[in-house]
Amino acid sequence: MSDLLAIGIDLGATKIAAALITRTGEVLAAAQSETQALAGFEAVADRVAESIETMRAAAPESIAGIGIGSPGQVDLSSGMVKDAVNLGWQAVPLAAAVQARLKRAMPIWIQKDTNASALGEYICGAARDCADFVYLSLGSGLGSAALANGRLINGATNGSDLGHLVVDPVGGRPCGCGLRGCAETVVSGPGLLTVMRELVEAQPDRSGRQDQSDLTTSAVIALAQAGDPVASAALASVAEWLGIVMAACIGVLNPMKIVLGGGLGLAAFDWLAPGAERELQRRVLPKGYAHLKIVRSELESSAVGAACLVWSNQRPTGSVR
């Protein structure tokens, strides 16, 4: 199997990313399409299968299998996905539905999306040869995963959920999960925009400040790079909360590395990593961080981690075994 290719599918709320990769992580082909989750599960399964067939048509040699990374709670044995809130799914047979739509049956591996990304970093990314690390994805939310002794930590319900670690239960913002002060209410793209808007509103003289309703994370980062003090303060707030999350990871898992990924994690890495490191150093003993490295994700596509599921130690799921 080591000489064969793999197809990876990263299923997100807004996009489906597909990649055809070699065993060393080289991307031979890639494609992206809209998820269109509002069209319903069956329509999304159609588009996932279409993405797989597109990658299969581009393959110059045999394909070992398909890996799918999905949000929500993933049942590794059945391929069911439960409670994928951003897709509107309560319980859907994702692996079986995709398998039924393929022109030719293939082994399918499925995992929680952040778990798949962590495996990708371990096999061919920023955590190669690092058996103990934490992966944090900063994007529309805050996703997390970890490996210990080279093994993915699935836990009782297949994965961690540091985005909903309550950091500020009293003064924090309400979270969509029903709690208050969850980490991802600040440590995420929407969180950064909320902090920025709050800081602008708090200014006694807001003349010269444009309407914040169409503000983007890219714009906040650009403003900070240009020396804007409010944008810099907003990123500093995100970094502080990120450091609190990292300190919790260090206290429990004692990792050698923390890998930052996701759109915001990559775009604002140079702002977030130093501030987070300063904050975590205030919260854990020096022996906990003396060896620690905070690094940027090296995966070329978000679908690479999903493809790496084919070479992990999981069993394939769905109707083909």
pLDDT value for 316: 67
The whole-number pLDDT of residue 321 equals 33
pLDDT at position 210 is: 60
R_g of the chain computed on alpha carbons = 20
Nearest to 190, CA basis, from 206, 176, 201:
176
pTM: 0.90
Q: What is the pLDDT of residue 159?
A: 72
Cα 193 from chain centroid?
Answer: 19
On the 0-12 / 13-18 / 19+ scale of CB atoms within 10 A, 14 is exposed
Residue ranges of domains in the chain, CATH in brackets: 5-120+302-311 (3.30.420.40), 129-296 (3.30.420.40)
- The alpha helices in the chain, defined as continuous H runs, are 41-57, 94-101, 113-124, 189-201, 217-225, 229-253, 262-267, 269-281, 286-289, 304-308
Strand 89-92 vs strand 81-84: parallel, antiparallel, or unpaired?
antiparallel
Successive 10-residue mean pLDDT values, the chain, 321 residues: 81 93 93 94 97 96 94 91 88 97 95 94 94 95 94 82 92 90 95 95 69 85 96 97 97 97 96 98 95 96 94 62 33
Q: Is there a contact between 33 and 19 (Cβ–Cβ < 8 Å)?
A: no
Cβ contacts of 175 within 8 Å, gap of 6 or more: 164, 181, 182, 184, 185
